[in-house]
Structure 1
């Protein structure tokens, strides 16, 4: 097991580092990716107020921004993928919950689903995590974990809606 990396003081002085570290959540000593994923949740009700295409556009912008941001901060810190950089987890969570109904139950299900895929890293996520570097590499494994979790969430949503409709006699 590797030692956790220390928290760079620049997180509290440099706005790019602060954002990349999930507004400070990536500085927590245990499971920074989980904390970053939790910090993403309060944004979901705001994103859900957008039209579907607006949410999709927000995902594209935050992902492209993340390629740059994560690469810049990793380069500044001279660490390939500092565990405290959690912007990638935040975007992965936002992907997971696109087109998912509103409500805390759905947020919890999405959180658990994303963490499962982010931690287990099934193929091709594990391959990308090992072979793609820089800001794109930092982001892409979590983007893919978000896509896998999104697909699983859509199956849950579809099953819930169809099961509910069947239960009501529709």
Structure 2
């Protein structure tokens, strides 16, 4: 293994979401859980525009850093890289915008995103199999998140009527 430079270390730090990706059991679920806690404590009441900007920046930074991390770790779409799960969960929670804050929605968003991220139905699985590098790492989770956000919104509309 080569010596890592500063950018390599930053890439691993960011791509593993501050080393959450090294959790030994279900690193993807651990990354999603960390994102859920981040959302619950800090982000659920963030201004809409700032939240959208955060998601966009997270996506592009995720593409860059996960691409580097993939090369550093030496595996295609390494399980240690969980920034895609973090971005995916935060995008999922766009489905709860304009609804009263509820831990129930936070948990439903978690479950929906994990189901679509793990099962990878079309088009999630297609993106996972056919798009490589950092873009592929991020894109399948973004697609799973968009599906999850739409379903979360539908659930909220059915339950609350918002």
Common fold, TM-score beyond 0.5? yes
- How many correspondences in the alignment? 152
Query: How big is the shift at 1:76?
Result: 1.7
Query: How big is the shift at 1:50?
Result: 2.1
Query: How big is the shift at 1:132?
Result: 0.2
2:34 aligned with 1:39: yes
**1:25-104 matches, cutoff 5 A:** 25-45=20-40, 46-100=42-96, 101=99, 102-104=101-103
**1:1-170 matches, cutoff 5 A:** 14-45=9-40, 46-100=42-96, 101=99, 102-162=101-161
- Residues 130 and 99 from structure 1, CA distance in 2 versus in 1: closer, same or farther, beyond 3 angstroms? closer
Query: How big is the shift at 1:159?
Result: 1.0
Q: Which runs of at least 4 in structure 1 moved beyond 3 Å after TM superposition?
A: none
Name which of structure 1's ranges 139-148 and 39-48 shifts more when overlaid on structure 2: 39-48
The TM-score with structure 1 as length reference comes to: 0.83
Cα RMSD (Å) of the superposition?
1.7
Distance 1:147 1:68 in 2: 21
Query: Is the contact made by 2:92 and 2:149 (CA closer than 8 Å) also made in structure 1?
Result: yes
Distance 1:14 1:68 in 2: 13
* Gaps in structure 1 of 5+ consecutive residues: 1-9, 166-170
Distance 2:72 2:88 in 1: 23
The TM-score with structure 2 as length reference comes to: 0.87
Larger RCO (alpha carbons 8 Å, 6+ apart): 2
* Gaps in structure 2 of 5+ consecutive residues: none
* Structure index of larger Rg: 1
Distance 1:16 1:104 in 2: 32
- Residues 99 and 126 from structure 1, CA distance in 2 versus in 1: closer, same or farther, beyond 3 angstroms? closer
